[in-house]
Amino acid sequence: MIEIKNVSKSFGKTAALDNLSFCVEEGSVFGLVGSNGAGKSTLLRIIGGVFRAESGEALVDGENSFENTSVKNKLFFVPDYPYFFNNSTVRNLAALYRGIYRNWDEEYFEKLLNIFPIKKNDKIINMSKGMQRQAALILALSTRPKYLLLDEIFDGLDPVVRQLVKRLIITNVTDNGMTAIIASHNLRELEDICDHVGLLHKGEIVLEKELDELKLGIHKVQIAFKGDVDEAFLDEFDVINKNRQGNLFQLTIRGEESELMPRLEALEPAFVEALPLTLEEVFINEMEGVGYEIENILR
């Protein structure tokens, strides 16, 4: 289990993480989403043992990962821009990892080499961005990590490889009990793979929930009335967003469908419909809720 306990980190006067706390259960896929500069990559680097938290603790199986080689042996961090040596190929980089990571799985490495459409003996730095990410992921998975930390892993991957990556992650989670934390802006991909989501904004966690709970807990409601209607009825609901065109309301309301619908139907509308939000819509709504100036940005 990964426990983030009151973790703070700042760069100069800028606070990147501010008293952050949450847990990532073993065998889960945790999606880390948030605005630009929210602190997602910083958090991954702290968990990965690259950075040290200024206060608080990021515990992996109860231990701090910073300068802790046995903890680091259990995890693998793939940054948003992975580093490769000038002359390294996937094969010779594997030789380095083989001697360093205790759980290196040569058979699985060979298998992954055959699965991914990547040239094994080409210099990695000459490869495309997507290919480099594939190389990084092959090496990462071959170390058989208990915890896999991925930063913008879907960036640059074609749709086929994206599916492959997602499938491999899920296989490792289900078969080997691996835990993955994926920081990404690609919410569509996260939606497919994550079971938990943490939303970061300005170094703070806005929400941390199971994805289903999150998605089913907020609904997009369209409700139309025949005559004039007083907006006071909205006070009875946890409305996050409201858009009114005459007697037609487009609302984002917090709550389960089974609980919302009877209450909405009790208002005797001409039409009512409640649809679950996509993760992207949840993200936008929640971010708006914490003062992210979406309107200004989109305008």
Partner 1 sequence: MKSKTFSDSLKTGVRIFLWSIKSNRALIIIYLSVLAFFGILNTTLIMGVKAYDHPSLIKTALDFMLVETYLTSMIVGFVAAIREYSYLHSKRKTDFFGSLPVSRRTVFFSKTLAVIFISAVPALVVTIASSIMSGVFSFNFDWYIRSLALLISSAAFFGLLSVCCGKTSDKIVSFFIIGIGYPLTLVFLNLLPLSLLWGYVPEKSIVNDVLFTLTPFRGLFDGPSVLWFVFPILCFAASFALLKRRKAECAQSGFAFRFPLYISKVLVSLSFGFVTGFAFVMTEIFGSNEYLSFWLGMITGSLTAYVIFQIVFAHGMKGFFKSLILYGTTIGCAALLFSFLASGWFGYETYVPGTEDVKSISFTDKLDTGVFGDYIIKCESEDRDVIKKAVKSHREDVAEKIEFKRRSMKRNIIEKILNMNFNAAYLYVDAEIEAAPYVYSVTYTLKNGARVSRSYFDSFVEQPDRDRVFPSFAYSDEYRENYYPLFVCDEKYVTDITITDDITEDEGIIVRDYEKCRQIVRTFKEEYDKYGFVSSGDYTIKIDYGEKDGDDAYLVTQMILSVPDEYKKTLKLVRDEYVESSIKKQG
The binding site for partner 1 (CB under 8 A) comprises: 11, 45, 48-52, 63, 67-70, 72-73, 75-77, 79, 81-83, 85-88, 92, 96, 99-102
Residue with tokens 């949450």: 22
- Residue 114: alpha-carbon gap to chain centroid: 28
The answer to whether 189 touches 162, Cβ cutoff 8 Å, is: yes
User: Which residues fall within 8 angstroms of residue 230, CB to CB, at 6 or more apart?
Assistant: none
At 158, the amino acid letter reads D
Which CB sits closer to partner 1, 57 or 281?
A: 57
Q: How is residue 290 written in tokens?
A: 């914490």
Question: In angstroms, what is the minimal distance from the CB of 213 to partner 1?
Answer: 32
Question: In angstroms, what is the minimal distance from the CB of 223 to partner 1?
Answer: 49
Q: How far apart are CA 201 and CA 16, in angstroms?
A: 10
Q: Where are the alpha helices (H) located in the chain, listed in sequence order?
A: 40-47, 69-72, 90-100, 106-115, 129-142, 159-176, 187-193, 211-216, 257-265, 279-289, 294-298
Which CB sits closer to partner 1, 17 or 277?
A: 17
Which CB sits closer to partner 1, 56 or 276?
A: 56
Which CB sits closer to partner 1, 106 or 273?
A: 106
- Per-residue buried b or exposed e for 122-158, using 16+ beta carbons within 10 Å of the residue's own CB: eebeebeebbbbbbbbbbbbbbbbbbbbbbbbbeebe
Question: In angstroms, what is the minimal distance from the CB of 182 to partner 1?
Answer: 16
Which CB sits closer to partner 1, 97 or 237?
A: 97
Question: In angstroms, what is the minimal distance from the CB of 27 to partner 1?
Answer: 22
Which CB sits closer to partner 1, 75 or 284?
A: 75
Which CB sits closer to partner 1, 99 or 246?
A: 99
Q: How far apart are CA 21 and CA 6, in angstroms?
A: 5
Residue 46 burial (C-beta neighbours within 10 Å; 0-12, 13-18, 19+):
buried
Question: In angstroms, what is the minimal distance from the CB of 155 to partner 1?
Answer: 15
Question: In angstroms, what is the minimal distance from the CB of 63 to partner 1?
Answer: 7
Q: How far apart are CA 107 and CA 65, in angstroms?
A: 28
Question: In angstroms, what is the minimal distance from the CB of 148 to partner 1?
Answer: 12
Q: How far apart are CA 81 and CA 248, in angstroms?
A: 47
Q: In what order do the strands lie in the sheet with 29-34?
A: 75-78, 147-151, 179-183, 29-34, 196-201, 204-210
Which CB sits closer to partner 1, 70 or 171?
A: 70
Question: In angstroms, what is the minimal distance from the CB of 96 to partner 1?
Answer: 5
